[in-house]
Amino acid sequence: MDSLRRRGYAYAIGAFEFADNIRLNILDVLKPYETPPDISRNAKGLQGKLCIITGGNAGIGKAFAEAAFRHGAHIILACRSRSRGAAAAKAIEQSIATGEGNVEVRELDLASLASVQRFAHAINAERRHVDILVCNAGIMAPSQRSETSDGFENQFQVNYLGHWLLAYELFRGQDQGSEMQQRSRAGMRSAPEGKKEQLDAQGNFAGARRLIFLSSMTHRAGHLDFSNLQLERGYTGFQGYANSKLATLLAAKEWNRRFRACDSTRQDISVAVHPGLVDTELARGWLTGADVSGIQLQPVVAPLARMLAPWLLISTKRAVDQLMLAATGPPLQVAGQYIAHGKPRRPSSEAEDAFLAKKLWSITCQLTSLQEGHGH
């Protein structure tokens, strides 16, 4: 009964969001959408920063990469297909002649934990400081349950587990080699009195990192049953997607708690973002597939969905601004928050459960064969 109630609530919110998207799209026809001035102003802080974007070869990931590149960021597109990533990188560089950064492509398959570790170790071996990690890549509600080569349900691993491990390996490796961590252990508090850490215009400490997880309003239908975490029983594509997005939101909250607990002056932060129901191939594929609670409605829904998609789904420009707020907004405004519709919002009660987040962290360590207890 609880499952039906959560699902019904999520569907109701989804229907409301579709209706609001229609309103926004009508407004965009009357007057084209413009990025809010504060987001444009804060985006200037991307100059010279290194930003890794998973799934950056298409959809929201590519659109955000273009925006960040335009503001002078150095971009790494972390893609399963190196050829598609290379095509996206070329398109970004050619479309934005004023970009002051550069775009490179690295192979990353989130469905393989070994691939995730190779990617992170290669970045850390180059001693490059990652300023922003955008965990964007994902799978959306496939009708048939399948498993990765590691033995996990596909959505759970690609949307959540692979991203969690990527963040863990990247940040742990960077912390182990960072001078700041060594200074912290040696006792930074003995520094000359009155000396303060450098802050930028947005209130970020020098070297501060941002970890951004893409979640979804569908997290409200999610429920983590640790005895059936891989949905071996009762699988539906929608439930698997909702559970993975609840897990990413819990992870964002727990990462931020652990960042705050670290003995570091860097003030790293983690943020979860619901970018909206966005006009991408992923969303259109879900609309036309129409797997709702295991019921295949494609013959009925697909033609209608194709016709209505431009009105039901918002532009990538609006979605990018959600991500830009998470990536460059004032830390006190966005740290540990769930960003949706342009501002921090309250997620589901389960997503706010700190005990559940800690339990998920512990189980995730076990699933990825890591020892719990690292500073993060």
Q: Which of 160, 168, 235, 241 is catalytic?
A: 241
Integer distance in angstroms from the first to the last C-alpha of the chain?
37
The domain spans of the chain are 2-183+204-367
pTM of the model: 0.88
d(CA 301, CA 356): 37
- Are 80 and 105 in contact by the 8 Å Cβ rule? The answer is no
235 is catalytic: no
d(CA 188, CA 45): 26
Give Dmax over CA atoms of the chain in angstroms: 71
Residue position matching structure tokens 């934005």: 96
Please provide the CATH number assigned to the domain covering 2-183+204-367.
3.40.50.720
What tens-digit pLDDT sequence spans the chain (376 residues)?
477 777 777 778 778 888 888 888 898 889 999 999 999 999 999 999 999 999 999 999 999 999 999 999 999 999 999 999 999 999 999 988 766 779 999 999 999 999 999 999 999 999 999 999 999 999 988 889 999 999 999 999 999 999 999 999 999 877 765 544 444 444 433 333 433 456 666 566 667 899 999 999 999 999 999 999 999 999 988 899 999 999 999 999 999 999 999 856 568 999 999 998 887 777 666 666 654 444 455 566 667 767 777 788 888 999 999 999 999 999 999 999 999 988 999 999 999 999 999 999 999 999 998 755 444 5
- Are 163 and 113 in contact by the 8 Å Cβ rule? The answer is no
Residue position matching structure tokens 């990192």: 209
